[in-house]
Amino acid sequence: MSLDELYARRLNRYVTAMRNGQPDCVPLRPLAAEIAAKYAGYTCQEATHDYRLGFEAVIRCCKDFDWDAVVPNMIYVWTGLTQAAGLRYYGVPGIDVGPDVAFQYREPPEDKKAWMQREEYDELIADPTRFLYETWLPRVSTEVSEKGSPTSYRNNLALVKGAMATLSYFQAFGPQIERMRTECGTVSAICGMLKAPLDVLADKLRGYLGLAFDLMEIPDKVMAACQALMPHLGYIALTSADPGRQIPIPIWMHRGCTPFISKEHFRTVYWPTLRPIVDALWAQGNQVLFYAEGKWDAHLEAFAELPAGSIVYHIDRGDPALTHRILGKKFCLSGGVPNTLMAFGSPDEVKAHCRRLIETLGAEGGYIMDASAIMQNDATVENLRAMTEATREYGVYRSLSSPSPKIATEPAPPTAGMPGWVTEGAPRPGVCRPWEDKIRELPPIVGDAAIPKRIWEDIEGLAYLYIWHVLLSF
């Protein structure tokens, strides 16, 4: 079988399962981060600080393991970029932590040292992009000058280095995905970026404790902030989605599950400002991978109200049997192999657990094998291999000579244009400084006025993507 044929078979297998159909066998999609570097012989410092080594580790795994789909680089945060921008919220392997310790996320400080003050909600609500550039970035960077302070050499250098590093990094993903296809026959598992508005507030703005008090004392401001973030988060997700609408947009869900916030706050704030984004993406033909970090069992009934096939639901600490009972008829499920088992169990124990998941969650299709959470270097290579072998041994539905299986749920044809809630209102997503402001500074345009407008807005889009990806990706 040629690599092109292998790629086509794996893609069909992966997409069929994600549409809750029954492919030829259970797909394998390990979200392997530092464990990939470990297998390739790199330390966390090497693979995190030099993304090219992280890329190479993935290629090595794709060649040596029979995996259907992987993330081009699951060690997604490139610490070379975060250092260039001077970002305070990461502990860097080999600098802040040991060279073989995965990068660490630092919680935003509390009270008057928070990266967004309580009294700044109105500023965020009025213009989220301006707030990020003007107020937030100087606080989270050791290099960028604070609002009202004179600019500096370090300030200017950090902005240029950070932007150029971001462009360089993102441009490297296209060739990496092509290498996975042409050298390994492996599918890119995800495409794009989405986060819930409330998660963004907790992760990078108010911090968990600050947000917890805000939800109790100023819930209306929290809700208004989440509503202000919605169009921008939806825009980033939609404009970064797979053009072919086959590969899902991931959402890394964590702060919204019980006990981090109450069921009431999930019902009144978290879900009402996330579901419209998911619905709009599905209306455009895009699935969302609900990477439900933690235990979300209390909210499964809410997820069950989504349109059939609109999501792939990933099980971390939740009850697989309960999840299958509530969601399994409408959505593909993935994961369920505990990371503790991948780290401390024996290969035989891993194989036995994978077999149970296949026989229960995957008995009729609509299941993708993966660990419960992103695999770091505490997982063992032997258990990674055991998960692979068990899936291929126990996960066969029919012979490879059988006709191509029918996909259970196809996305609806995409609606024309962008969703209304993405494009309505001012300031518009995708824009930092509108052309309408710039043109007032220019002499009368001679010739085709559409040309400078188009180019201005194209470049504006790059500045917009930079600050939002600093917030969401890095």
Q: What is the per-residue pLDDT across 339-365, written as a single tens digit (0 to 9) for each?
A: 999 999 999 999 999 999 999 999 999
Q: For position 414, what pLDDT does the model report?
A: 60
Q: Residue 215 above 70 pLDDT? A: yes
Q: For position 87, what pLDDT does the model report?
A: 96
Q: For position 109, what pLDDT does the model report?
A: 87
Residue type at position 223: M
Q: For position 403, what pLDDT does the model report?
A: 41
DSSP state, residue 272: T
Among residues 225, 195, 196, the alpha carbon closest in space to that of 210 is found at 225
Q: Residue 268 above 70 pLDDT? A: yes
Q: For position 413, what pLDDT does the model report?
A: 63
| CA 70 – CA 28 distance, rounded (Å) | 8
Q: Check if the beta carbon of residue 119 is closer than 8 Å to that of residue 131.
A: no
Residue found under tokens 């959402």 = 251
Tokens at 216, concatenated: 């109790």
| CA 28 – CA 227 distance, rounded (Å) | 37
Decide which of 401 and 466 is more confident. Answer: 466
Q: For position 180, what pLDDT does the model report?
A: 98
Q: Residue 408 above 90 pLDDT? A: no
Considering the domain delimited by 3-472, tell me its CATH architecture.
Alpha-Beta Barrel (3.20)
pLDDT tens for 13-69 read 999 999 999 999 999 999 999 999 999 999 999 999 999 999 999 999 999 999 999
417 Cβ contact partners less than 8 Å away, ≥ 6 residues apart: 423
Alpha-carbon distances, residue 126 vs 121, 147, 349, 418 (angstroms): 9, 17, 54, 22
- Report the chain's mean pLDDT, rounded to a whole number: 93
Task: Give Cα 453 distance to the centre of its chain.
Answer: 32
Q: Residue 226 above 50 pLDDT? A: yes
- Residue 87 φ/ψ, nearest 5 degrees: -70, 130
Q: Residue 247 above 70 pLDDT? A: yes
Q: For position 254, what pLDDT does the model report?
A: 86
Among residues 372, 364, 366, 290, the alpha carbon closest in space to that of 332 is found at 366
Span 197-208, average pLDDT: 95
Lowest mean pLDDT among 10-19, 378-387, 395-404: 395-404
Span 95-103, average pLDDT: 94
pTM of structure: 0.94
Q: For position 36, what pLDDT does the model report?
A: 97
Q: For position 362, what pLDDT does the model report?
A: 96
Q: Check if the beta carbon of residue 162 is closer than 8 Å to that of residue 85.
A: yes
pLDDT tens for 292-341 read 999 999 999 999 999 999 999 999 999 999 999 999 999 999 999 999 99
Q: Residue 197 above 60 pLDDT? A: yes
Residue found under tokens 């935003």 = 108
Question: What confidence category does residue 147 fall into, taking pLDDT thresholds of 50, 70 and 90?
Answer: confident
Question: What confidence category does residue 409 fall into, taking pLDDT thresholds of 50, 70 and 90?
Answer: low
Q: Residue 466 above 70 pLDDT? A: yes
- Helices 320-327 and 347-360 meet at what angle, rounded to 10? 20
Q: Residue 422 above 80 pLDDT? A: no
DSSP state, residue 348: H
Q: Residue 1 above 90 pLDDT? A: no
Lowest mean pLDDT among 20-29, 217-226, 432-441: 432-441
Percent of the chain topping pLDDT 70: 94
Q: Residue 400 above 60 pLDDT? A: no
Question: What confidence category does residue 123 fall into, taking pLDDT thresholds of 50, 70 and 90?
Answer: very high
Q: Check if the beta carbon of residue 145 is closer than 8 Å to that of residue 134.
A: no
Q: For position 426, what pLDDT does the model report?
A: 56
Burial 65-77 (b: 16+ CB within 10 A, else e): bebbbbbbbbbbb
